[in-house]
Structure 1
Amino acid sequence: MGDVVTIPREEYDRLRAAAEDLADLQTYDRAKADLSEGRDELIPAEYADRLLDGESALRVYRDLRGLTQAALAEEARVNRVTIAEIETGRKHGSVKTLCALADALEIALDDLTSDIGRSADRMKN
């Protein structure tokens, strides 16, 4: 077995707090680097609130990008009616369709699919 070191509890607690602070600073530095290098973006509170309120992620991100349904349909090569049905929760969209929409909006697929469970619940009621 390795060496054992005994230290006062206060010193242990101080070291643990310092380690947690360091981890937080490293996370912050990574987030800042991701933003400055274009690997991530900030979403204005208005749009974040809409997502948190359960509004269709597709509609929110489309609005954030300043696109109409028709413009997004053209960019993603998806039928505009399909976009409308996904936004209203009448349909979920195929993986292929959602990938095309996510690519056109320059977001991760996960950003679009997080509300599928909520829309499925709405369709049941």
Structure 2
Amino acid sequence: MSHDAQYPENSILVVGNSQTTGFNPINQQFGAFFITFIVVKETEEILDCGVSVTVKTTENFIRGMFAGKRLVKDEERIVAEVQSRYFGSSQKAIIAAYRDAVKKFREVTAAKKTVK
């Protein structure tokens, strides 16, 4: 079996989850809000992300706010950027899902350090 790996072997996938509020197309389609991050373990660089949204333009915009930043070290910068640039009904859900992913990343990387 052959496949082309799109992401380097030192990257991991982390998913952050949250809930949207009220009548929201995301709630109607997915039942929850989530962001999937591809992150380089050692540097925390966000290589890519996918978002449970209903419009591709929205996903591209959100991806642009995260790509190239460091998942943990740039937390303050990322949250400030979401608050100052994203004015859709899912703003709080984006921040909550991001913070959930940060928590999971910390857990995974801490666990890997203790296993070594």
State whether TM-score is above 0.5: no
TM-score, with structure 2 as normaliser:
0.39
TM-score, with structure 1 as normaliser:
0.37
Q: Which has the higher strand share?
A: 2
Structure with the greater relative contact order (CA < 8 A, sep ≥ 6): 1 or 2? 2
Q: Which has the higher helix share?
A: 1
